[in-house]
Amino acid sequence: MQPNVSSDVTTEAGHVVANIPAAVEPVEKDASVATAVGDTVIIMVRFRPDTTVWEINGLPAHLDKQAWFTLLCKRAGSKFETRAGGRGYFRLTRAEYEAIAARNPN
C-alpha cells in the first residue's frame, strides 16, 4: 500500500482547495564533513543493527569509520549524545575537534 501523495487537497464535497507539491527531494549532505554551528562542531554518527558504525562525519583521511568513532569515544566520550534509531552525535568545540582529528593527537 502506497501512502496518499496526491498534490491536490479536496474538501469533503470533492472540491480542490489547494495545489500542494507531492514531495520534496531530500538534500544530500556530504557525510564526510562535520557540521559547524558557530564555534561548535557536531559529528553525526549512524550505527548498523550490529552496533558497528555505518556513517560518521568529520572523518580524518588517516582513520576508518570505526577507528574514528573509537578515538572520539576515548577523547570526548562525555560529549556523545544518543538519539533514537541507531543515531547519535558528538558536540565539540572547534579546538577539541581539531585536536582529536590531528594525525598524532596529544
Is residue 84 assigned to a domain?
yes
Q: What range defines the domain where residue 93 resides?
A: 27-101
Is residue 87 assigned to a domain?
yes
Is residue 21 assigned to a domain?
no
pLDDT tens by residue, 57-100:
999 988 999 999 999 999 999 999 999 999 999 999 999 999 99
Mean pLDDT of 23-33: 46
Mean pLDDT of 33-47: 82
Between 55 and 10, residue with greater pLDDT: 55
**C-alpha cell read off for 103:** 594525525
How much of the chain is in helix, strand and coil states, percent to nearest 5? Answer: 20, 30, 45
Half-sphere exposure in the Cβ direction for 16 (13 Å, CA): 6
Q: How many structural domains comprise the chain?
A: 1
Q: Can you give the pLDDT at residue 103?
A: 77
Is residue 45 assigned to a domain?
yes
Q: Can you give the pLDDT at residue 39?
A: 85
Is residue 60 assigned to a domain?
yes
Is residue 63 assigned to a domain?
yes
